[in-house]
Structure 1
Amino acid sequence: MKKRRITLRARLTLVYGSLFLSAGVVLLGVTYMLFDQQLGRGGELSVHSDSSVGAATQQGASLDGRNWVESEQKRLNDAATASLVTQGGIALVVVAGAASGFGWLIAGRVLAPLHRVTETARRIAAAPAADRGLHERIALDGRDDEVKDLADTFDLMVERLDRSFDGQRRFVANASHELRTPLTVGRALVELAVHRKSASPDVKQLGESLLEINDRHERLITGLLLLAGSENHVPEPQPVDLADVVAHVAAQSSPAAERAGIVLHAEAGPAPTTGDALLLERLVQNLVENGVRHNTGAGGWVRVISRRREDDRVEIEVSNTGPEVPPYEIPSLFEPFRRLGTERLVTAKGAGLGLSIVRSITRAHGGSVTAHPRPTGGLTLTVTLPQDPDGN
């Protein structure tokens, strides 16, 4: 449950009202003391005057009469004091309420530019992708004060971010061209070799395999560039069952695992989600390749499991045997070009991008990835993704 908070405007109003009320209480107290002191002096003078008059009139007034005068004087003093305190207190409360109301209005007027900054920042943060909405500016007008400095600084920060994302988009466009060009040239050369009249059946079969691999690489590059261009956002997610992805990747990866002396176990349970099927396939493939590469060699194993959870999530769990991994090295595994020691590599060295791509694809699909070292060595990597609400 979200904890209720007191807004800055309300706090400023409370401060204004409290300060005015405290000053009014002090002023009322001082007035009461001075008034009471003045009434005391007036009573003494009145009593002395009555005594003098009595002596002059040869004891014309009795002792009871003098007591009545004193009691009447005291009653009048008490009534005047009570009237002062009561009416002064009522007036103080009314004026304090009016001061709080004016304080609320003034605080709202003073904080209005801050609300404008907050609303602009909220709209930028709520954009479907990080680079959307960065064209907005606060452009605050008015007097040159601290609030305007804050708004101008915010505009400068957003402008620099906008330029940075523009540079990233240009880089993605250039990278797209540079990556696709060699694949296109390779495809043309393979097709030329396959369609030659002198091509043997083995060459044609090899060419078909190479064309299939080339096609997959082209689609993968397209997906990764789309992912980078949309800032970790899949624009058109489609229903995907991770069970099919796990079964497909396990079938493809089994020969390489067998050559390394590692047994690959696959438990493809139903796990419906939404996203890009090619990127999800790359995610599972990277996890499996990472489990095979960082293993003990002959006698090792890799287990990949897909399943549906009870909290409307699905997950892929990949565990493997291997050397013990210190817990402090776990966070660095997901950083680009960060690998464990080369002595842990069984097969060819990787580029150090496998798990960083896994994390990027997982975030693009609204999921999370965690890694935990196994007590006997190796790792358990778990990818959690939202479940497709329409999945069976």
Structure 2
Amino acid sequence: MALSTRFVVDSAADTDAWIRAVHTGFLNPPALSQETLDARRAKQDFRRARGVFDGERCVATFRSFDQRLTVPGGAAVAANAVTAVTVHATHRRRGLLSGLMSADLAEAKERGDAVATLVAAEYRIYGRYGFGPAAAFTTWRVDGTRTGLDPRWALPESEGTLSFVDGAEVRKAGPELHERFRAGRAGAVDRDALFWERATGEARFDIQPWQEPFHVLYRDAGGVPRGLVTFTVENRWEASMPGNAATVQSLIATSPAAEWTLWRFLLSIDWVTTLDTGRAAPDSPLPLLLPDARAAAVREHADLLWVRPLDVPRMLSARSYAAEGELVLGIRDPLGLAEGRYLLDASPREATCAPTRRAPDLVLDAGVFARLYLGEFSATRLAAVGWIEEETTGAAARADLLLRTDHRPWCPDIF
């Protein structure tokens, strides 16, 4: 029987088959209740969800949606966020993913998106489609008994308030707070209403049973929300002594001081002796602010956000630069979407970028350019391992001067 590729939004049967196929593709139980299927169809955006069907069975899935990606300097570019990418083990090596990806990226380019984004479950798949890892995270496990901090710490009244809040308050204060956080962190992406509903249990259609987390909101002395942390606690007692473990699900703050206030609070909670930071910024100040930095051990460090260039002039014109200079980039693209030579004329005040016929200073693949774009990687380092061809002596060092950022990019969200 011939395979058929189609959008699933106009058919409830196709959408339900697609949802089950996603679960199968990620090796989760595909037997979902009709109530769960109905809830997902009602809440999620399936307008750009494609499936490959073998008869009535969906055997490959792909979905994209509109997103805003913050770039260095605080501007946001239009992004085509890719998610729910699966191909069943019974239908591999037939070009199904290549067909789905090529069609979606071409539409994104036509629509005017500057980049495509995704979170890669497997590292080796997406480079061949022009994606590259552009932002990472670090998870620390902090031994609260070794930090050297005062365990009886309390926030001074002059610095604001910390309050346990419920889901309704998070849905009220969280979106505006997150937008202010996002504007200050390259790599961050916007959060829609469904994100906040799922984070607070208002929308429940995940496989795992809902566990109500704790939410703590930090407001400054003027009453303005500056930080929000969501976390769970595992209760552990041994020999009548508490050894509870707190795990952060999300922590956002609009300044380093606000971030430290939330970490300091978490490390002062009675009975909590271990803190798992979750997917924190790779340059979080947390270890540097502990009297004993060894109390924070790196449990995991990995890539998270991957970026795929679609419109190089728009990408480079949108971000800020640390120095003044020109650079001609020769971009190679396996799909041809970002192929070309581009002249960047940048300064700390403004930047322009346009196609050019000038000889390139640097030649690199689209996925390698993605590594440089938000400031995560060094052009000099990538040139040293042969990933960038330096056609003009000193061009890689010049690129590093231009693209340098004060903070590493960070995307705290899986999508």
Of Structure 1 and Structure 2, the greater helix share is in 1
TM range (shorter): under 0.3
Larger CA Rg, structure 1 vs 2: 1
TM-score (norm 1): 0.22
Bigger RCO (CA 8 Å, 6+ sep): 2
